[in-house]
Amino acid sequence: MKRVLAALIATAMVASVFAQAPFTIRRPADGSRVREVVTIRIPKNSIQAGQYVGFMINGKFLEAVAPTVSGDDYVYNLDTKGRKLPDGKMTIEAVLYQYSNDRPMVVDRSSVEVNLDNSTSITPGRGGKLLRYKFNPGKEWIYTLTDTTSVSTITQAQAQLGSRAAQIPVDTEKVRFMWAVDNVYNTANGQEGLIRVQALPNKGKDYTYLTLVGDSEPKKYMDYEMHPVYTRITSTGREIFSAFPTYFPLEGTGGEQSRLDLFLIYSMPILPSNAVNVAEPFQAAVPQSNFKIEDRWEVNDVFNNLPARGTVQGFEWESGMPCAKISSTLALGADDLKNMENLNQLEGEATKIELQTTYWFALDKGVVIKSITTMTQEALVEVGGSGGGFSGGGGPTGSDQAGGTGGRRQGGGRASLGAGWMTPNGFLSQLISPQSQMFRVQDGISGGPGGPPAGQNAGGVGARGGTGGNGSVGVKMIMRVQSRRVVELEK
Protein backbone atom coordinates (compact mmCIF):
# COMPACT_ATOMS: atom_id res chain seq x y z
CA MET A 1 0.00 0.00 0.00
CA LYS A 2 2.83 2.38 0.87
CA ARG A 3 4.55 1.58 -2.43
CA VAL A 4 1.36 2.38 -4.36
CA LEU A 5 0.92 5.63 -2.43
CA ALA A 6 4.55 6.63 -3.08
CA ALA A 7 4.14 5.89 -6.78
CA LEU A 8 1.00 8.04 -6.94
CA ILE A 9 2.75 10.93 -5.17
CA ALA A 10 5.73 10.70 -7.54
CA THR A 11 3.43 10.64 -10.56
CA ALA A 12 1.55 13.67 -9.27
CA MET A 13 4.81 15.54 -8.71
CA VAL A 14 5.99 14.77 -12.26
CA ALA A 15 2.65 15.85 -13.70
CA SER A 16 2.78 19.06 -11.67
CA VAL A 17 6.28 19.87 -12.91
CA PHE A 18 5.25 19.06 -16.49
CA ALA A 19 2.14 21.25 -16.26
CA GLN A 20 4.10 24.17 -14.83
CA ALA A 21 7.10 24.31 -17.14
CA PRO A 22 9.16 27.46 -16.62
CA PHE A 23 8.33 30.41 -18.83
CA THR A 24 11.53 30.88 -20.82
CA ILE A 25 12.72 31.57 -24.36
CA ARG A 26 14.18 28.26 -25.58
CA ARG A 27 15.15 29.55 -29.02
CA PRO A 28 17.04 31.52 -30.16
CA ALA A 29 19.88 30.78 -27.77
CA ASP A 30 21.40 33.61 -25.81
CA GLY A 31 24.33 35.14 -27.73
CA SER A 32 23.45 33.53 -31.07
CA ARG A 33 23.55 35.25 -34.47
CA VAL A 34 20.17 35.65 -36.16
CA ARG A 35 18.94 36.89 -39.54
CA GLU A 36 15.70 37.65 -41.38
CA VAL A 37 12.78 35.86 -39.69
CA VAL A 38 13.70 34.82 -36.13
CA THR A 39 11.66 31.94 -34.72
CA ILE A 40 11.06 32.43 -30.98
CA ARG A 41 10.12 29.26 -29.09
CA ILE A 42 8.56 29.09 -25.62
CA PRO A 43 7.41 25.83 -23.91
CA LYS A 44 3.67 25.58 -24.44
CA ASN A 45 3.11 24.17 -20.94
CA SER A 46 4.41 27.42 -19.45
CA ILE A 47 1.41 29.35 -20.82
CA GLN A 48 -1.93 28.56 -19.22
CA ALA A 49 -5.44 29.18 -20.49
CA GLY A 50 -6.32 32.87 -20.52
CA GLN A 51 -2.69 33.99 -20.65
CA TYR A 52 -0.94 35.66 -23.56
CA VAL A 53 2.54 36.86 -24.44
CA GLY A 54 3.85 40.32 -25.26
CA PHE A 55 7.13 40.81 -27.06
CA MET A 56 9.60 43.65 -26.59
CA ILE A 57 12.68 44.46 -28.68
CA ASN A 58 15.45 46.48 -27.04
CA GLY A 59 13.01 47.62 -24.35
CA LYS A 60 10.33 48.79 -26.79
CA PHE A 61 6.95 47.06 -26.88
CA LEU A 62 6.29 45.29 -30.18
CA GLU A 63 2.98 43.47 -29.88
CA ALA A 64 0.96 41.08 -27.71
CA VAL A 65 -0.27 37.86 -29.29
CA ALA A 66 -1.49 34.37 -28.60
CA PRO A 67 1.40 32.43 -30.24
CA THR A 68 0.76 29.45 -32.47
CA VAL A 69 1.61 25.91 -31.36
CA SER A 70 4.32 23.87 -33.06
CA GLY A 71 5.19 20.58 -31.38
CA ASP A 72 5.92 21.20 -27.69
CA ASP A 73 6.39 24.94 -28.14
CA TYR A 74 4.53 28.15 -28.71
CA VAL A 75 6.11 29.83 -31.72
CA TYR A 76 6.36 33.49 -32.65
CA ASN A 77 8.04 34.59 -35.90
CA LEU A 78 9.83 37.94 -35.69
CA ASP A 79 10.36 39.43 -39.16
CA THR A 80 13.38 41.62 -38.52
CA LYS A 81 13.63 42.88 -42.11
CA GLY A 82 9.93 43.60 -42.39
CA ARG A 83 10.09 45.60 -39.15
CA LYS A 84 13.32 47.28 -40.27
CA LEU A 85 15.22 46.41 -37.09
CA PRO A 86 18.86 47.58 -37.17
CA ASP A 87 21.78 45.17 -37.15
CA GLY A 88 23.74 44.69 -33.95
CA LYS A 89 23.01 43.49 -30.44
CA MET A 90 19.30 42.96 -29.92
CA THR A 91 17.45 42.06 -26.74
CA ILE A 92 14.33 39.94 -27.24
CA GLU A 93 12.05 39.91 -24.21
CA ALA A 94 8.88 37.86 -23.80
CA VAL A 95 6.39 38.96 -21.13
CA LEU A 96 3.64 36.63 -19.89
CA TYR A 97 0.35 38.39 -19.10
CA GLN A 98 -3.01 37.46 -17.69
CA TYR A 99 -6.07 39.54 -16.84
CA SER A 100 -6.78 40.21 -13.17
CA ASN A 101 -9.52 42.59 -12.02
CA ASP A 102 -10.08 43.60 -15.65
CA ARG A 103 -6.47 44.68 -15.99
CA PRO A 104 -3.45 42.94 -17.57
CA MET A 105 -1.00 41.68 -14.98
CA VAL A 106 2.59 40.59 -15.60
CA VAL A 107 3.06 36.95 -14.58
CA ASP A 108 6.61 36.27 -15.75
CA ARG A 109 9.40 37.47 -18.05
CA SER A 110 12.19 35.93 -20.10
CA SER A 111 14.80 37.52 -22.36
CA VAL A 112 17.78 36.69 -24.55
CA GLU A 113 20.41 38.85 -26.22
CA VAL A 114 21.27 38.00 -29.81
CA ASN A 115 23.30 39.53 -32.64
CA LEU A 116 21.17 40.59 -35.60
CA ASP A 117 23.07 40.31 -38.88
CA ASN A 118 20.92 41.01 -41.93
CA SER A 119 23.65 42.87 -43.81
CA THR A 120 26.70 43.59 -41.64
CA SER A 121 28.62 40.45 -42.63
CA ILE A 122 28.29 41.19 -46.38
CA THR A 123 30.95 43.67 -47.42
CA PRO A 124 31.04 44.82 -51.06
CA GLY A 125 34.57 46.21 -50.72
CA ARG A 126 35.85 49.63 -51.71
CA GLY A 127 35.59 48.82 -55.41
CA GLY A 128 32.06 47.44 -55.15
CA LYS A 129 30.70 44.08 -56.31
CA LEU A 130 30.74 42.81 -59.88
CA LEU A 131 27.48 40.92 -60.40
CA ARG A 132 27.41 38.17 -63.01
CA TYR A 133 25.19 35.16 -63.74
CA LYS A 134 26.91 31.82 -63.19
CA PHE A 135 26.42 29.27 -65.96
CA ASN A 136 26.74 25.70 -64.70
CA PRO A 137 25.58 23.34 -67.49
CA GLY A 138 22.87 20.99 -66.29
CA LYS A 139 21.75 23.26 -63.44
CA GLU A 140 17.99 23.78 -63.27
CA TRP A 141 16.27 26.45 -61.18
CA ILE A 142 12.53 26.22 -60.48
CA TYR A 143 10.52 29.40 -59.88
CA THR A 144 6.93 30.34 -59.06
CA LEU A 145 5.51 33.38 -60.83
CA THR A 146 2.41 35.11 -59.40
CA ASP A 147 0.63 37.97 -61.17
CA THR A 148 -1.96 40.05 -59.32
CA THR A 149 -4.03 42.76 -61.02
CA SER A 150 -6.05 45.58 -59.47
CA VAL A 151 -8.09 48.45 -60.91
CA SER A 152 -9.37 51.80 -59.64
CA THR A 153 -11.27 54.74 -61.17
CA ILE A 154 -11.60 58.30 -59.91
CA THR A 155 -12.76 61.60 -61.40
CA GLN A 156 -10.26 64.34 -62.17
CA ALA A 157 -12.01 66.62 -59.70
CA GLN A 158 -11.67 64.05 -56.92
CA ALA A 159 -8.01 63.49 -57.77
CA GLN A 160 -7.31 67.24 -57.61
CA LEU A 161 -8.79 67.28 -54.10
CA GLY A 162 -6.36 64.58 -53.04
CA SER A 163 -8.82 61.68 -53.00
CA ARG A 164 -7.55 58.17 -53.66
CA ALA A 165 -9.75 55.43 -55.06
CA ALA A 166 -9.58 51.95 -53.57
CA GLN A 167 -7.73 49.39 -55.67
CA ILE A 168 -10.08 46.53 -56.56
CA PRO A 169 -8.32 43.18 -57.09
CA VAL A 170 -9.64 41.62 -60.28
CA ASP A 171 -7.29 38.82 -61.28
CA THR A 172 -4.55 36.49 -60.02
CA GLU A 173 -2.52 34.10 -62.15
CA LYS A 174 0.17 31.67 -60.98
CA VAL A 175 2.58 29.50 -62.96
CA ARG A 176 5.71 27.47 -62.21
CA PHE A 177 8.59 27.54 -64.65
CA MET A 178 12.13 26.27 -65.12
CA TRP A 179 15.21 28.38 -65.87
CA ALA A 180 17.88 25.87 -66.90
CA VAL A 181 21.48 26.24 -68.11
CA ASP A 182 22.07 23.91 -71.06
CA ASN A 183 25.49 25.14 -72.18
CA VAL A 184 28.20 27.71 -71.50
CA TYR A 185 30.41 29.53 -74.01
CA ASN A 186 33.69 31.31 -73.27
CA THR A 187 34.07 34.40 -75.44
CA ALA A 188 36.44 37.35 -75.61
CA ASN A 189 33.85 39.41 -73.72
CA GLY A 190 33.24 36.84 -71.00
CA GLN A 191 30.95 33.87 -70.56
CA GLU A 192 27.63 33.38 -72.31
CA GLY A 193 24.98 30.83 -71.44
CA LEU A 194 22.32 28.91 -73.35
CA ILE A 195 19.20 29.15 -71.20
CA ARG A 196 16.08 27.01 -71.49
CA VAL A 197 12.85 28.53 -70.14
CA GLN A 198 9.82 26.27 -69.88
CA ALA A 199 6.48 26.32 -68.08
CA LEU A 200 5.90 23.49 -65.60
CA PRO A 201 2.81 21.73 -64.25
CA ASN A 202 1.62 22.25 -60.71
CA LYS A 203 3.80 20.58 -58.09
CA GLY A 204 2.89 16.90 -57.84
CA LYS A 205 0.63 17.10 -60.93
CA ASP A 206 1.07 16.61 -64.67
CA TYR A 207 -1.02 19.63 -65.65
CA THR A 208 -1.75 23.25 -64.86
CA TYR A 209 -4.53 25.76 -65.59
CA LEU A 210 -3.56 29.01 -67.31
CA THR A 211 -5.31 31.91 -69.02
CA LEU A 212 -3.44 32.97 -72.13
CA VAL A 213 -3.76 35.91 -74.50
CA GLY A 214 -7.00 35.57 -76.45
CA ASP A 215 -8.63 33.23 -73.92
CA SER A 216 -11.61 34.22 -71.81
CA GLU A 217 -11.15 31.55 -69.14
CA PRO A 218 -8.43 29.24 -67.81
CA LYS A 219 -7.57 26.17 -69.86
CA LYS A 220 -5.91 22.94 -68.84
CA TYR A 221 -2.42 22.27 -70.18
CA MET A 222 -0.67 18.92 -69.83
CA ASP A 223 3.07 18.63 -69.24
CA TYR A 224 3.67 17.30 -72.77
CA GLU A 225 2.14 20.51 -74.18
CA MET A 226 4.69 22.71 -72.42
CA HIS A 227 7.63 23.51 -74.68
CA PRO A 228 10.90 25.36 -74.07
CA VAL A 229 12.19 28.64 -75.42
CA TYR A 230 15.97 28.82 -75.84
CA THR A 231 17.83 32.07 -75.23
CA ARG A 232 21.53 32.76 -75.37
CA ILE A 233 22.48 35.51 -72.93
CA THR A 234 25.57 37.32 -71.71
CA SER A 235 26.73 37.03 -68.11
CA THR A 236 24.77 40.23 -67.36
CA GLY A 237 21.57 38.68 -68.76
CA ARG A 238 21.33 40.55 -72.07
CA GLU A 239 19.72 38.59 -74.89
CA ILE A 240 21.92 37.58 -77.84
CA PHE A 241 19.29 35.49 -79.61
CA SER A 242 16.20 33.41 -78.88
CA ALA A 243 14.77 30.41 -80.70
CA PHE A 244 11.73 28.15 -80.64
CA PRO A 245 12.31 24.43 -81.25
CA THR A 246 10.49 22.89 -84.19
CA TYR A 247 9.60 19.24 -84.70
CA PHE A 248 9.89 17.79 -88.20
CA PRO A 249 8.78 14.18 -88.86
CA LEU A 250 11.31 11.72 -90.28
CA GLU A 251 11.40 11.42 -94.04
CA GLY A 252 9.11 8.71 -95.30
CA THR A 253 6.89 8.76 -92.20
CA GLY A 254 3.56 10.37 -91.61
CA GLY A 255 4.69 11.68 -88.26
CA GLU A 256 2.85 14.29 -86.29
CA GLN A 257 2.52 17.76 -87.70
CA SER A 258 4.20 20.58 -85.83
CA ARG A 259 1.85 21.97 -83.20
CA LEU A 260 1.63 25.25 -81.38
CA ASP A 261 1.63 24.45 -77.69
CA LEU A 262 2.46 26.35 -74.53
CA PHE A 263 5.49 28.67 -74.55
CA LEU A 264 6.58 30.96 -71.73
CA ILE A 265 8.37 34.20 -72.61
CA TYR A 266 10.39 35.39 -69.62
CA SER A 267 13.68 37.19 -69.03
CA MET A 268 15.66 37.46 -65.82
CA PRO A 269 16.72 40.99 -64.79
CA ILE A 270 19.69 42.54 -66.60
CA LEU A 271 22.58 43.07 -64.19
CA PRO A 272 24.72 46.23 -63.95
CA SER A 273 27.59 46.32 -66.44
CA ASN A 274 30.17 47.52 -63.90
CA ALA A 275 30.92 46.84 -60.25
CA VAL A 276 28.40 48.53 -57.96
CA ASN A 277 28.23 49.68 -54.38
CA VAL A 278 25.44 50.65 -52.00
CA ALA A 279 23.36 53.67 -53.07
CA GLU A 280 25.26 54.02 -56.34
CA PRO A 281 22.98 54.78 -59.31
CA PHE A 282 23.63 53.14 -62.66
CA GLN A 283 22.07 52.97 -66.12
CA ALA A 284 19.71 50.01 -65.94
CA ALA A 285 17.93 48.13 -68.71
CA VAL A 286 14.45 46.64 -68.31
CA PRO A 287 13.67 43.78 -70.76
CA GLN A 288 10.15 43.88 -72.19
CA SER A 289 8.81 41.36 -74.67
CA ASN A 290 8.11 42.59 -78.21
CA PHE A 291 7.27 39.11 -79.42
CA LYS A 292 4.35 38.04 -81.60
CA ILE A 293 3.73 34.31 -81.76
CA GLU A 294 2.99 34.39 -85.49
CA ASP A 295 6.51 35.73 -86.12
CA ARG A 296 8.32 33.03 -84.16
CA TRP A 297 10.05 31.58 -87.25
CA GLU A 298 11.15 34.97 -88.57
CA VAL A 299 12.77 36.65 -85.56
CA ASN A 300 15.77 35.77 -83.44
CA ASP A 301 15.12 38.11 -80.54
CA VAL A 302 12.05 38.59 -78.38
CA PHE A 303 12.98 41.40 -75.99
CA ASN A 304 13.44 45.15 -76.12
CA ASN A 305 15.57 46.74 -73.42
CA LEU A 306 14.00 49.90 -72.02
CA PRO A 307 16.40 52.37 -70.36
CA ALA A 308 15.74 52.89 -66.65
CA ARG A 309 17.42 54.23 -63.52
CA GLY A 310 18.98 51.57 -61.33
CA THR A 311 20.10 51.75 -57.71
CA VAL A 312 21.79 49.27 -55.37
CA GLN A 313 19.57 49.29 -52.29
CA GLY A 314 22.06 47.29 -50.27
CA PHE A 315 23.67 43.93 -49.64
CA GLU A 316 21.62 41.72 -47.34
CA TRP A 317 20.59 38.18 -46.50
CA GLU A 318 17.49 36.91 -48.27
CA SER A 319 16.12 33.37 -47.93
CA GLY A 320 19.32 32.38 -46.15
CA MET A 321 21.60 33.61 -48.97
CA PRO A 322 23.85 36.69 -49.22
CA CYS A 323 22.34 38.92 -51.89
CA ALA A 324 22.57 42.24 -53.65
CA LYS A 325 19.24 44.07 -53.50
CA ILE A 326 18.76 46.15 -56.63
CA SER A 327 15.90 48.30 -57.88
CA SER A 328 15.18 49.90 -61.25
CA THR A 329 12.56 52.51 -62.10
CA LEU A 330 11.06 53.58 -65.41
CA ALA A 331 8.52 56.41 -65.53
CA LEU A 332 6.83 57.93 -68.58
CA GLY A 333 4.65 61.03 -68.34
CA ALA A 334 2.09 62.64 -70.63
CA ASP A 335 4.76 64.33 -72.77
CA ASP A 336 6.56 61.01 -73.32
CA LEU A 337 3.31 59.29 -74.27
CA LYS A 338 1.72 61.90 -76.53
CA ASN A 339 2.72 60.04 -79.69
CA MET A 340 2.22 56.55 -78.29
CA GLU A 341 -0.83 54.31 -78.36
CA ASN A 342 -2.15 53.04 -75.08
CA LEU A 343 -1.21 49.50 -74.26
CA ASN A 344 -3.70 47.04 -75.69
CA GLN A 345 -5.55 49.88 -77.46
CA LEU A 346 -7.28 51.12 -74.35
CA GLU A 347 -9.52 54.00 -75.35
CA GLY A 348 -8.56 57.27 -73.78
CA GLU A 349 -5.46 59.36 -73.27
CA ALA A 350 -2.51 57.68 -71.56
CA THR A 351 -1.14 60.00 -68.90
CA LYS A 352 1.42 57.94 -67.00
CA ILE A 353 3.21 54.60 -67.05
CA GLU A 354 5.46 53.46 -64.20
CA LEU A 355 7.52 50.30 -64.02
CA GLN A 356 9.42 49.44 -60.85
CA THR A 357 11.42 46.28 -60.24
CA THR A 358 13.26 45.12 -57.12
CA TYR A 359 15.28 41.92 -57.21
CA TRP A 360 17.65 39.95 -55.00
CA PHE A 361 20.72 38.48 -56.71
CA ALA A 362 22.45 35.67 -54.78
CA LEU A 363 26.16 36.46 -54.64
CA ASP A 364 27.27 32.86 -54.09
CA LYS A 365 24.92 31.12 -56.52
CA GLY A 366 25.02 33.75 -59.28
CA VAL A 367 21.27 33.76 -59.87
CA VAL A 368 18.23 35.88 -59.05
CA ILE A 369 16.27 34.30 -56.20
CA LYS A 370 13.40 36.78 -55.99
CA SER A 371 12.01 39.71 -57.95
CA ILE A 372 9.01 41.99 -57.50
CA THR A 373 7.80 44.02 -60.49
CA THR A 374 5.01 46.57 -60.23
CA MET A 375 3.64 48.09 -63.44
CA THR A 376 1.09 50.88 -63.34
CA GLN A 377 -0.70 52.67 -66.15
CA GLU A 378 -3.02 55.61 -65.75
CA ALA A 379 -5.28 56.62 -68.61
CA LEU A 380 -7.68 59.54 -68.93
CA VAL A 381 -11.02 58.28 -70.21
CA GLU A 382 -14.11 60.33 -70.93
CA VAL A 383 -17.46 59.05 -69.78
CA GLY A 384 -20.23 60.36 -72.04
CA GLY A 385 -23.06 62.34 -70.48
CA SER A 386 -26.76 61.92 -71.14
CA GLY A 387 -28.85 63.92 -73.61
CA GLY A 388 -31.20 66.70 -72.54
CA GLY A 389 -34.96 66.28 -72.29
CA PHE A 390 -37.61 67.72 -74.63
CA SER A 391 -39.81 70.66 -73.81
CA GLY A 392 -43.06 69.89 -72.09
CA GLY A 393 -46.25 70.00 -74.19
CA GLY A 394 -48.81 72.77 -73.85
CA GLY A 395 -51.76 72.34 -71.55
CA PRO A 396 -55.32 71.78 -72.87
CA THR A 397 -57.74 74.66 -73.40
CA GLY A 398 -59.05 75.77 -70.07
CA SER A 399 -62.63 76.36 -69.06
CA ASP A 400 -63.65 79.12 -66.74
CA GLN A 401 -61.33 77.52 -64.25
CA ALA A 402 -57.57 77.65 -64.32
CA GLY A 403 -55.74 76.68 -67.50
CA GLY A 404 -54.21 73.21 -67.75
CA THR A 405 -50.78 72.51 -66.45
CA GLY A 406 -47.99 72.39 -69.01
CA GLY A 407 -46.14 69.12 -69.56
CA ARG A 408 -43.28 68.25 -67.18
CA ARG A 409 -41.11 66.04 -69.31
CA GLN A 410 -37.79 65.92 -67.52
CA GLY A 411 -34.21 66.14 -68.70
CA GLY A 412 -32.08 63.21 -69.79
CA GLY A 413 -31.85 60.00 -67.85
CA ARG A 414 -28.83 58.84 -65.90
CA ALA A 415 -25.57 58.35 -67.71
CA SER A 416 -23.73 55.08 -67.33
CA LEU A 417 -20.03 54.61 -66.67
CA GLY A 418 -19.12 51.70 -68.91
CA ALA A 419 -22.66 50.43 -68.97
CA GLY A 420 -23.38 47.25 -67.10
CA TRP A 421 -20.32 45.04 -66.68
CA MET A 422 -16.76 45.72 -67.72
CA THR A 423 -13.39 44.03 -67.56
CA PRO A 424 -9.87 45.39 -68.16
CA ASN A 425 -9.10 42.84 -70.86
CA GLY A 426 -5.39 42.66 -71.42
CA PHE A 427 -4.69 46.15 -70.07
CA LEU A 428 -0.91 46.21 -69.69
CA SER A 429 -1.01 42.99 -71.65
CA GLN A 430 2.64 42.09 -71.15
CA LEU A 431 2.09 41.66 -67.43
CA ILE A 432 -1.58 40.81 -67.09
CA SER A 433 -3.54 37.87 -68.42
CA PRO A 434 -6.68 39.03 -70.23
CA GLN A 435 -9.15 37.05 -68.19
CA SER A 436 -10.24 39.08 -65.19
CA GLN A 437 -13.11 39.07 -62.78
CA MET A 438 -15.85 41.35 -63.89
CA PHE A 439 -17.11 43.99 -61.54
CA ARG A 440 -19.94 46.46 -61.58
CA VAL A 441 -19.00 50.12 -61.60
CA GLN A 442 -20.82 53.07 -60.17
CA ASP A 443 -23.59 54.94 -61.92
CA GLY A 444 -22.67 57.90 -64.07
CA ILE A 445 -23.64 61.54 -63.57
CA SER A 446 -27.38 62.09 -63.89
CA GLY A 447 -29.00 64.15 -66.63
CA GLY A 448 -30.27 67.69 -66.13
CA PRO A 449 -33.47 68.46 -64.18
CA GLY A 450 -36.87 68.70 -65.84
CA GLY A 451 -38.43 71.92 -67.07
CA PRO A 452 -40.61 74.14 -64.83
CA PRO A 453 -44.38 73.63 -64.69
CA ALA A 454 -46.72 75.58 -66.97
CA GLY A 455 -48.47 78.75 -65.96
CA GLN A 456 -51.94 78.77 -64.40
CA ASN A 457 -53.82 81.01 -66.89
CA ALA A 458 -57.54 80.92 -66.16
CA GLY A 459 -59.78 80.16 -69.11
CA GLY A 460 -57.04 80.29 -71.77
CA VAL A 461 -54.83 77.74 -73.38
CA GLY A 462 -52.39 76.22 -70.92
CA ALA A 463 -48.85 77.56 -71.20
CA ARG A 464 -46.24 75.43 -72.86
CA GLY A 465 -44.15 73.33 -70.54
CA GLY A 466 -40.64 74.49 -69.74
CA THR A 467 -37.70 73.37 -71.80
CA GLY A 468 -36.07 70.16 -70.62
CA GLY A 469 -32.76 70.56 -68.85
CA ASN A 470 -29.49 69.98 -70.64
CA GLY A 471 -27.98 66.53 -70.35
CA SER A 472 -24.74 66.15 -68.45
CA VAL A 473 -21.46 66.64 -70.28
CA GLY A 474 -18.81 63.94 -70.48
CA VAL A 475 -16.82 63.41 -67.30
CA LYS A 476 -13.06 62.87 -67.31
CA MET A 477 -12.15 59.80 -65.28
CA ILE A 478 -8.70 58.52 -64.35
CA MET A 479 -8.47 54.75 -64.73
CA ARG A 480 -5.54 53.15 -62.93
CA VAL A 481 -4.55 49.53 -63.55
CA GLN A 482 -1.73 47.96 -61.57
CA SER A 483 -0.07 44.60 -61.99
CA ARG A 484 2.25 43.14 -59.36
CA ARG A 485 4.43 40.24 -60.45
CA VAL A 486 6.36 38.22 -57.86
CA VAL A 487 8.89 35.61 -58.99
CA GLU A 488 10.44 33.43 -56.27
CA LEU A 489 12.90 30.58 -56.35
CA GLU A 490 11.35 27.43 -54.93
CA LYS A 491 13.03 26.14 -51.79
For the stretch 205-250, pLDDT in tens is 999 988 876 677 888 889 988 889 999 999 999 999 988 877 665 6
Helix or strand run (H / E) with residue 143: strand 140-155
Res. 252 pLDDT band, cuts 50 70 90: low
For the stretch 340-376, pLDDT in tens is 444 443 445 566 788 899 999 999 999 999 999 998 8
The CA-CA-CA angle for residues 367, 368, 370, to 5°, reads 150
Over 60: is that where the pLDDT of 432 sits? no
Q: What is the pTM of this model?
A: 0.73
Nearest of 462, 446, 457 to residue 407 by alpha carbon: 462
Instruction: Please give the residue that has the higher pLDDT: either 403 or 252.
Output: 252
For residue 39, the number of C-alpha atoms closer than 13 Å in the C-beta half-sphere is 7
Query: Which residues, including other chains, have CB under 8 Å from residue 447's CB and lie 6 or more apart?
Result: 385, 386, 387, 388, 389, 410, 411, 412, 413, 414, 415, 469, 471, 472
Q: Are 180 and 196 in contact (CB under 8 A)?
A: yes
Nearest of 296, 320, 169, 176 to residue 230 by alpha carbon: 296
Res. 389 pLDDT band, cuts 50 70 90: very low
Rounded Cα–Cα distance for residues 39 and 55 (Å): 13
Where does 276-366 show beta strands of DSSP type E?
281-289, 303-318, 321-332, 349-362
| Total residue count of the chain as it appears in this document | 491
Please report the pLDDT score of residue 420 as a whole number.
22
Rounded Cα–Cα distance for residues 425 and 415 (Å): 23
Output the average pLDDT for the chain. Answer: 75
Task: Looking at mean pLDDT, say which of 8-17, 248-257, 404-413, 448-457 comes out highest.
Answer: 248-257
Mean pLDDT for the stretch of residues 470-484: 70
Over 70: is that where the pLDDT of 411 sits? no
Over 70: is that where the pLDDT of 482 sits? yes
Burial class (CB in 10 A: 0-12, 13-18, 19+), 392: buried
Helix or strand run (H / E) with residue 4: helix 2-19
For the stretch 268-287, pLDDT in tens is 999 999 999 998 899 999 88
Over 50: is that where the pLDDT of 446 sits? no
> Is it true that the peptide bond before 169 is cis, omega within 30 degrees of 0?
no
Radius of gyration of the chain (CA): 33
Over 80: is that where the pLDDT of 114 sits? yes
Instruction: Please give the residue that has the higher pLDDT: either 485 or 17.
Output: 485
Over 90: is that where the pLDDT of 16 sits? no
Res. 81 pLDDT band, cuts 50 70 90: very high
Mean pLDDT for the stretch of residues 112-135: 93
Among 153-157, 166-170, 392-396, the range scoring the smallest mean pLDDT is 392-396
Instruction: Please give the residue that has the higher pLDDT: either 157 or 219.
Output: 219
Rounded Cα–Cα distance for residues 122 and 131 (Å): 14
Centre a 10 Å sphere on the Cβ of residue 340 and count the other Cβ atoms it contains: 10
Over 90: is that where the pLDDT of 186 sits? yes
